[in-house]
Amino acid sequence: MKKIIAAIVLLTCMLGARAQQDPAYSMYVFNGQFINPAYSGSHEVVSLMAIYRQQWVGLDGAPSTGNISLNMPLRREQYAIGLMVSNDKIGLGNTFSFTPSFAYRIKIKKSKLCFGLQGSFAYYYRNNSKSELPSTTPDATTSINTNLFVPNVGFGIYWYGKNYFVGASVPHLMPSSLGDKVGVLSYNSVLARVYNYYVFTAGYVVGKDNASVKFKPSILMKWQQGLPNNIPQFDLNLALLVINRMWIGASVRTSGNAYTASGAPLKFGPESLAGYVQVRVTPQLQLAYSYDATLSNLRNANSGTHEIMLGYDFWYNKRRFVTSRYVTYF
């Protein structure tokens, strides 16, 4: 029975892959490298971060993702580099990706305008031998194991100052159809592909430097071919920074499969509600945790999503820091 459920979840996720083809993190608010290569080096130090996300706990075959990222400015500060290594498992499929990035940064008074480029090298494997489906399956997708290598490139722009940021990116510039690589995917040729998608982010920190509490509203908008009603997905975030050591925040993600009481679909229906906390244990060490409560129709089939994060900043050039900085706003 568990194998059957896992297979059903896999097929459901394939149908929804156009809406979420990459892992969706709640704590991208602490590491924009997940969505924009131009973010690399913006902490102005060597920044190492590990994150683990377990989505839709209690549902067999639900996504689980592990990611390790590293980014830093080079000695000539107009350049920065980054690297992400991730493993994303969903249903019977597993994707391992290796994503290096490069950023060119232009200093404009007290801000920086950054242009980023990344290369993505993904290896996809699906063990179909574990599936149990009826003989009426419409194609041979579940009859053989699948191994695919899918390269891609992405581009981003990121402008930031002490209290604000604006960014735009296209993580995938090369549409890639899995059906072109594996003939048995012909039935799902429209769905089984990597689409271009477009991301816009912006945020601002409100409060004086010596204030005990600061506010940070931010927004993420993502548009991708195949989203319901062709409506962009939004993340609306509001966070509080307490004594420059602890972030406490919440966010709402829209474009879920929500419905009115009469059964009519909501164009901007809520998908999930997340709460998160991040603590600077030391000026260099940070810990964070988030919990997502599902608000879409899937809420009755799982007990939510958990995400944990561990980050460490290596200050290879301490002369930059006259005083200890306990927090990075973005």
- Domains of the chain (ranges; CATH) run 2-320 (2.40.160.40)
pLDDT band at 126 (very low <50, low <70, confident <90, very high): confident
CB 233 within 8 A of CB 222: yes
User: Which of 264 and 180 is assigned the larger pLDDT?
Assistant: 264
Does pLDDT of 124 surpass 90?
no
Q: Which of 69-83, 97-111, 141-155, 268-282 has the lowest mean pLDDT?
A: 141-155
Regarding pTM above 0.75, the answer is yes
Contacts of 57 (CB under 8 A, 6+ apart): 302, 303, 304, 305, 306
Question: What CA–CA distance (Å, rounded) separates 10 from 224?
Answer: 21
User: Which of 175 and 256 is assigned the larger pLDDT?
Assistant: 175
**Exposed, middle or buried: residue 229 (CB in 10 Å: 0-12, 13-18, 19+)?**
exposed
| Token representation of residue 305 | 């999503």
HEC string of the chain equals CHHHHHHHHHHHHHHCCCCCCCCCCCHHHHCHHHCCHHHCCCCCCEEEEEEEEECCCCCCCCCEEEEEEEEEECCCCCEEEEEEEEEEEECCEEEEEEEEEEEEEEEECCEEEEEEEEEEEEEEEECHHHCCCCCCCCCCCCCCCEEEEEEEEEEEEEEECCCEEEEEEECCCCCEEHHHCCHHHHHHCCCCEECCEEEEEEEECECCCCCCEEEEEEEEEEEECCCHHHCCEEEEEEEEEECCCEEEEEEEEECCCCECCCCCECCCCEEEEEEEEEEECCCCEEEEEEEEEECCHHHHHCCCEEEEEEEEEECCCHHHCCCCCCCCCC
Predicted local distance difference test score (pLDDT) of residue 193: 61
Does pLDDT of 283 surpass 60?
yes
**């997905």: which residue's tokens?**
233
In percent, the amount of the chain with pLDDT more than 70 equals 72
At 5, give phi and psi (nearest 5°): -60, -45
**Exposed, middle or buried: residue 325 (CB in 10 Å: 0-12, 13-18, 19+)?**
middle
CA distances (Å), origin 249, targets 18, 25, 213, 301: 28, 14, 12, 26
| Token representation of residue 195 | 């689409």
Predicted local distance difference test score (pLDDT) of residue 294: 86
Does pLDDT of 285 surpass 50?
yes
Question: What CA–CA distance (Å, rounded) separates 114 from 249?
Answer: 27
What digits encode the pLDDT tens for the residues 132-171?
A: 655 555 555 555 567 888 888 999 999 999 899 999 999 8
Q: Which of 162-176, 199-213, 291-305 has the lowest mean pLDDT?
A: 291-305
Average pLDDT over residues 94-119: 94
Predicted local distance difference test score (pLDDT) of residue 88: 92
Average pLDDT over residues 13-25: 54
Q: What's the alpha-carbon Rg for the chain, to the nearest Å?
A: 21
pLDDT band at 54 (very low <50, low <70, confident <90, very high): very high
CA distances (Å), origin 165, targets 29, 201, 217, 260, 296: 11, 8, 11, 36, 30
pLDDT band at 196 (very low <50, low <70, confident <90, very high): confident
Question: What CA–CA distance (Å, rounded) separates 154 from 119?
Answer: 6
Handedness of CA 150, 155, 161, 163 (dihedral sign): negative
In percent, the amount of the chain with pLDDT more than 90 equals 43
Does pLDDT of 293 surpass 80?
yes
What is the residue-averaged pLDDT of the chain? 80
Count the neighbouring beta carbons within 10 Å of the beta carbon of residue 190: 10
